[in-house]
Amino acid sequence: MSGPRPASLTLSERQRSLLEHLGRCQAVSVRLARRVAVLLALADDPCLERVASGLRLTRVSVRLWRDRWLDAAGRLRAAEAGGRSDPELLGLIEAALDDAPRPGGPATFSPEQIVGIVAVACEPPEKSGRPISHWTARELADEAKRRKIVSDISPRTVSRFLKTGRSPAPSQPLLAQRQPG
């Protein structure tokens, strides 16, 4: 018993030529080269199972990139018919084979804000007029808001910033220590 006929992937001569160029180019990522190999193999043989086996991938991966190409095929044909140059068409092909955006929201704090908070943590608390000997996450959060480094931040977030990038047992404490005398 045979299943449904696989969706065929048809490449124009120009698309095939550009894909082959991408596949040979040493400057492309391994991921992009693998996706190009999938498309070229599917153009020769539409059977997902055989292509997946030949490239040592899963059928799901092969199907994903076939479907992505089929979704972009209309735009690529229109660009080709519109007389786009090879570099422009190559850019469209690379965009079609690029990773999809990952879920999640944008970062809440910029790298500059994080560095500013860490810089405050490296200063002695007395410099900020605080009557304490050591910074706490709450004190640092208040000081970052007071200095307008951030409009709002929780002590927990400050703690996370100070913990990243450190070894489990740092040789020097990150927070400023009170100097004797």
User: What stretch of H or E contains 90?
Assistant: helix 86-96
- pLDDT for position 26: 86
pLDDT, tens digit, for every residue of 7-43? Answer: 788 899 999 999 999 989 888 899 999 999 999 999 9
Any residues with CB less than 8 A from the CB of 10 and at least 6 apart, and which?
43, 73
Q: Which has more pLDDT, 3 or 128? A: 128
Q: Quote the pLDDT of residue 27.
A: 87
* Residue pair 74/58 in contact by the 8 Å Cβ criterion: no
pTM value? Answer: 0.57
- How does residue 167 score in pLDDT terms, banded at 50, 70 and 90? very low
Which tokens in the block code for residue 91? Answer: 């850019």
**CB neighbours of residue 14 within 10 Å:** 13
Give the tens place of pLDDT for each residue, 115-163.
999 999 999 999 989 899 999 999 999 999 999 999 999 999 999 998 8
